[in-house]
Amino acid sequence: MEFPTNIPNWIDGEACPALGGETLPKLAPADGTELCRVARSRVADVRQAVEAAKRAQPGWADVPPVKRGMILHDVTLGLKARREEMARVVARETGKSYANALAETDGAIALGIFYASEGQRLYGRTTTSATPNKSAMTVREPLGVAGLIIAANTPIANVAWKVYPALVCGNAAVLKAAEDTPATAYLFGEIARDAGLPAGVLNIVQGYGLEAGAPLVADRDVAVVSFTGSTGVGRQIAVVCAERLARVSLELGGKNPFVVCDDADLDNAAQWAVLSAFSNAGQRCAAGSRFLVFDAVYDAFREKFVERTKGLKVGPNDEDDFGPVINERQLNNMVGTVERAKGNGARVLVGGGRLTDEAHRGGFYMAPTIVENAGPDDDITTKELFGPVASLYRVRDFADALAQANDSEYGLTACIHTRSLHRALEFTRRVQAGVAVVNAGTFGSEPHMPFGGVKQSGNGSREPGTEALDIYANLKDVYISIDPAQA
Ligand code: NAD
């Protein structure tokens, strides 16, 4: 598809504008120009989408799980057939390079293949009973309508992470696309329809969080809410879901520590530091942002990290290392936080602000930034920035590194660079995080692995992997008693 100038909702298999006729602007992060207008949905649009999902869900639940999986496999084949087109859309609306967008699309396809096959499993348990002639088992059944709300950072991966597990379990879904990446979700809706997904099984509403996301969370016909986004919004969603006892999965922010020990391979560490801090313009929940470096190698590591960072190319093309951030609000927030840190005594080693030269004019480009000497309570140390900004901290030894790694309200991912098996294993055991990595980056999850955080990074749920089935399916206990005399 040519990049659409108008992006409608998908409700009941039909593309439709917002009921009020309103639209919102979507800007191209690469140059700040208006890319398209997007349906600005409100409560009535959300209600219509939930109603469509509610009507379609019983029929979808009656489709045998194996067949549901085969239909989702067809959707995945549709995505694969149009992967270049999808990658172009992802690249355009995020500003990331086509090569990175294509890799992300392939990640979504891998997840689709894994989850489509889950239709052939959806395992329950058979187990024992204390009572003679009684058998006991658990079966998985759908919950009803799933409300799915996603962030914009890796848009097609985010769509896939939620839509596939929700649908394979027999739920119908209403997906609230991120307002910064409407076209990716729209194109996925078209692919799903063309692949034969029945109308109403996947509905997509566009719009702002408060206007279209909040009504979805509050809707009493939505049995499960799955949210990927910031901790602040996640907390509000948790309150609303608690009040109406809806199931909720929260995949939230991070302020992830990256530890470099005195026995680390410093070149490998510096390479992974650059990728953890700056790939995807730092817009990863799993980005590394707090670099905790042993005193003994601090200067040597800093030099390598800064040197590599100075060589990074920022722009929207395949030869660039990373692109713009998603919008001007996020950009201004990170620039302001760096400025405040400087005011409090932090030193900027590289970058530090918006790129405004001819090549970057109008775009939302943040220079890759490394600071040091930030205080433990500075915003740059404690708050997630979701951009290409890294802070360096000196630590005395392993115990100090671990203490500082855990000194955060977040607990999503963490990594350590060391040649010591003892340090590596002790770190993976003691670090407060949902993901612990040795000698690589803070990011890099796989479709069959359960991802998620502790503390303020989530509510304990895990997506994807087979663990996501526990979010989107109800476990029903089934007991059957027989009378052998009647056999
Ligand atoms: P955000 O919380 O502002 O928005 C995320 C989504 O929620 C958007 O679709 C938005 O429209 C919607 N939303 C906003 N307010 C809402 C409300 N009151 N009710 C319902 N929906 C609402 O987040 P963002 O800044 O767009 O995304 C970045 C955040 O997402 C970061 O904190 C990042 O760490 C997190 N994230 C987490 C994961 C993970 O798996 N843990 C993955 C990617 C991103």
Q: What does the pLDDT look like over 131-151, one tens digit per residue?
A: 999 999 999 999 999 999 999
Pair (215, 333) in one structural domain: no
Pair (180, 102) in one structural domain: yes
Contact 383, 377 (CB under 8 A): no
Which pLDDT belongs to residue 368?
A: 98
The alpha carbon of 105 and the centre of ligand 1 are apart by a number of angstroms equal to 20
How far is Cα 287 from Cα 150, in angstroms, rounded to an integer? Answer: 17
Going by CA atoms, what residue is nearest to atom 19 of ligand 1? Answer: 214
Answer yes or no: is 89 within a domain.
Answer: yes
Region 3-13: mean pLDDT is 95
Answer yes or no: is 414 within a domain.
Answer: yes
Going by CA atoms, what residue is nearest to atom 15 of ligand 1? Answer: 209
Half-sphere exposure of 124 (CA within 13 A, CB side): 15
Pair (172, 310) in one structural domain: no
Is 251 tagged catalytic?
Answer: yes
Which pLDDT belongs to residue 54?
A: 98
Is 2 tagged catalytic?
Answer: no
Region 181-207: mean pLDDT is 98
Phi, psi of 316 (to 5 degrees): -90, 5
| DSSP code per residue over 225-283 | EEEES-HHHHHHHHHHHHHTT-EEEEE----EEEEE-TTS-HHHHHHHHHHHHHGGGG-
How far is Cα 329 from Cα 333, in angstroms, rounded to an integer? Answer: 6
User: How would you classify the pairing of strands 202-205 and 369-372?
Assistant: unpaired
Going by CA atoms, what residue is nearest to atom 9 of ligand 1? Answer: 178
Which pLDDT belongs to residue 341?
A: 98
Token output for 177:
């696309």
How far is Cα 20 from Cα 11, in angstroms, rounded to an integer? Answer: 15
How many distinct structural domains can be found in the chain? 2
Residue in 152, 178, 174 with CA at minimum distance from that of residue 163: 174
The alpha carbon of 232 and the centre of ligand 1 are apart by a number of angstroms equal to 9
Q: Is the model's pLDDT at 2 over the cut of 80?
A: no
How far is Cα 329 from Cα 158, in angstroms, rounded to an integer? Answer: 21
Q: Could you tell me the residue range of the domain that residue 202 belongs to?
A: 6-252+458-476
Which ligand 1 atom is at minimum distance from the Cα of 384? 32
How far is Cα 432 from Cα 405, in angstroms, rounded to an integer? Answer: 8
Residue in 223, 220, 226 with CA at minimum distance from that of residue 467: 226
Region 38-46: mean pLDDT is 98
CATH number at residue 413: 3.40.309.10
Residue 199 burial class via C-beta count within 10 angstroms: exposed 0-12, middle 13-18, buried 19 and up? middle
Residue 4 has what DSSP assignment?
Answer: P
Pair (265, 291) in one structural domain: yes
Pair (45, 182) in one structural domain: yes
Pair (240, 379) in one structural domain: no
How far is Cα 400 from Cα 421, in angstroms, rounded to an integer? Answer: 18
Please pick, among 36, 169, 285, 415, the residue that the annotation labels catalytic: 285
Q: What is the pLDDT of residues 324-355, one digit of tens each?
A: 999 999 999 999 999 999 999 999 999 999 99
Q: What is the pLDDT of residues 406-445, one digit of tens each?
A: 999 999 999 999 999 999 999 999 999 999 999 999 999 9
Rounded to whole angstroms, what are the CA distances from 224 to 41, 96, 385?
A: 20, 32, 29
The best mutation among 153, 284, 449 to test binding of ligand 1, ranked by most ligand atoms within 8 Å of the C-beta, falls on 153
Pair (80, 183) in one structural domain: yes
- Cis status of the peptide bond prior to 464, with omega within 30 of 0: yes
Which pLDDT belongs to residue 3?
A: 85
Residue 153 burial class via C-beta count within 10 angstroms: exposed 0-12, middle 13-18, buried 19 and up? buried
Which pLDDT belongs to residue 1?
A: 60
How far is Cα 289 from Cα 297, in angstroms, rounded to an integer? Answer: 18
Answer yes or no: is 446 within a domain.
Answer: no
Answer yes or no: is 396 within a domain.
Answer: yes
Q: Judge if pTM exceeds 0.85.
A: yes
Q: What is the pLDDT of residues 60-117, one digit of tens each?
A: 999 999 999 999 999 999 999 999 999 999 999 999 999 999 999 999 999 999 999 9
Which ligand 1 atom is at minimum distance from the Cα of 230? 32
Answer yes or no: is 113 within a domain.
Answer: yes
CATH number at residue 99: 3.40.605.10
Contact 300, 392 (CB under 8 A): no
The alpha carbon of 407 and the centre of ligand 1 are apart by a number of angstroms equal to 23
Q: Is the model's pLDDT at 446 over the cut of 80?
A: yes
Answer yes or no: is 283 within a domain.
Answer: yes
Please pick, among 104, 211, 251, 372, the residue that the annotation labels catalytic: 251
Pair (362, 426) in one structural domain: yes
Answer yes or no: is 44 within a domain.
Answer: yes
Pair (287, 166) in one structural domain: no
Answer yes or no: is 485 within a domain.
Answer: no
Pair (223, 334) in one structural domain: no
Residue in 296, 241, 303, 239 with CA at minimum distance from that of residue 267: 303
Pair (275, 213) in one structural domain: no
Pair (30, 174) in one structural domain: yes
Region 287-314: mean pLDDT is 98
